[in-house]
Amino acid sequence: MSRRDDPPLGRGATSDPTSSDLIARVVADLTPVKPVSFGRSLASCWLVSASTALVTVCWLGARSDLAARATEAGFIASMLALGLGAVLSAAAAIRGGIPGREVRFGSTLALLSLPLALAAGVVVLSPTRSAGWPTWLESVGGGWPCIATTAGVAILPWLAAVYLLNRLHCLREVRSAALAALAACFLGAFVSHLRCAAADAHHVAAAHYLPVLALAGVGCALAVLASRRRRTLLGG
């Protein structure tokens, strides 16, 4: 609406630009982008992850009793839980970069709680519980090789996930970074579980399951810091 004291528009006068005109000017220099393919992104992450796991197992070897343990329900369940946790965490992280497909906070919390549930389950359900078990501190101290395996295997998949998330520009950056790091650490624990023949429940809980959550926290913090540093350097 024009004010009362505004001069009338003459034949040569022009009106203010409309919203459509302003939008047209803003998008004039933009080019269409290809939509993100969820399946292709997930397949790319898991190609890196599977290759890393396979090379590690072939190089370092698997546990000596793998053939016997592969028939035990408890071992199969633990491997399925670690593998499924890795797949679901990676899928949830990628969905965080696709508008309208973000996972809910409850689903994220459930995935983050899975290592705790596995650790508690192996201790409570272990048939070898006795007063002679080592303490938790001793279990962690003797489990550094397994923790190092988990961290080492997770590095390359984590870097691939961070690169992908930087391209997706996730709205919930911390949540996506946490899920990406969690997926990589689940994979590391999967390989560690394939290699370590220790049957002690405290060792499995403290050196195989709980490090997944701890290392994922470190990976999440590093990913967020790197992303924010990158935006600072780029001026955005």
Give the tens place of pLDDT for each residue, 125-170. Answer: 776 554 344 555 666 667 888 999 999 999 999 998 888 877 776 6
- Other residues' Cβ atoms within 10 Å of the Cβ of residue 129: 12
Q: In 3D, which of 95, 88, 90 has the Cα closest to residue 168?
A: 95
Give me the helices (H) in the chain, please.
Answer: 19-26, 38-60, 66-69, 73-95, 105-125, 136-142, 144-168, 173-195, 201-203, 210-233
Q: Whole-angstrom Cα distance, residue 177 to residue 164?
A: 11
* Nearest residue to 74 (alpha-carbon basis) of 124, 116, 146: 124
* pLDDT for residue 1: 44
What integer pLDDT is reported at residue 27 of this predicted model? 66
> Which pLDDT score is estimated for 3?
46
> How far out from the chain centre does Cα 132 lie?
37
pTM over 0.75: yes
Rounded-to-integer distance, Cα 205 and Cα 122, Å = 7
What is the total residue count of the chain?
Answer: 236
CA proximity to 191, closest of 63, 65, 91, 90: 63
Q: Assign 64 to helix, strand or coil.
A: coil
What pLDDT is recorded for position 35? 64
| Number of H-type helices and E-type strands within the chain | 10, 0
User: For 143, which DSSP code?
Assistant: T
List the pLDDT tens digit at each of the 236 positions of the chain. Answer: 444 455 554 444 455 667 777 777 776 666 656 666 777 878 888 888 888 888 988 888 888 888 888 888 888 999 999 999 999 999 888 887 776 777 788 888 999 999 999 998 888 877 655 434 455 566 666 788 899 999 999 999 999 888 887 777 667 788 888 999 999 999 999 999 898 888 778 888 888 999 999 999 999 999 888 877 776 766 65
Centre a 10 Å sphere on the Cβ of residue 81 and count the other Cβ atoms it contains: 20
Q: Alpha carbon 68 to chain centroid distance?
A: 32
